[in-house]
Structure 1
């Protein structure tokens, strides 16, 4: 059985989102990208399919040529357990710009420091800095 790969469907800004994520995570890379050509169903030059890696996790994304009545939801989030306060602060500072904060970065009864937000593309993220004996 193949690994499970998270799949993002954007409507015209897949490459912008992918490049944004690649700029934040060290060692991130694009392993494959195909674009729509002239006279194809999608806008010429937009992402037909891309595969990229962040922190060792593979993701896929596309620019949907079809307008949908839905987008991303916080019901499914990308969850990162951070190793240091510097890491959680850096990731929060970069990823939350232009987004919507669901739970501000702070100490909570269940952890040392946590944040939950949607980034500028609508993708939901949870960042956690567990205290000793906490975390996933």
Structure 2
């Protein structure tokens, strides 16, 4: 079954925000990745941004995950209220990821085409024709 989660963007204070959310909801972070931990070909992260959060996730309750990242002005990302929330869709297959991505992005603006990513997932993001921001993220099954 496809899952929907909330994905937030912050202007450099993701870690502070998520420590606060963790104090409210409890639990442990299931992922914390800093920009320095995930080098990307052709992308130079300034020293002052290396420890910023590329991705963090905090499970909340049984089936929900609150996720986020820092938006870096050094990468040309400009955070304004209204572009800091995404709906993150997690389909059960690559084919379903393609179907959802193509259907929801029709008439919208693609931010990142859906493709295999350096962190290992099949991922893309866009703003739909109604101005809603979406992420489609298929995680390949782990080899047994």
The TM-score bracket by the shorter chain reads: 0.3 to 0.5
Which one scores higher on RCO, CA 8 angstroms, separation ≥ 6?
2
* Superposition TM-score, scaled by structure 1 size: 0.43
Task: Look at both structures and tell me which one has the larger radius of gyration over its CA atoms.
Answer: 1
Higher share in helix: 2
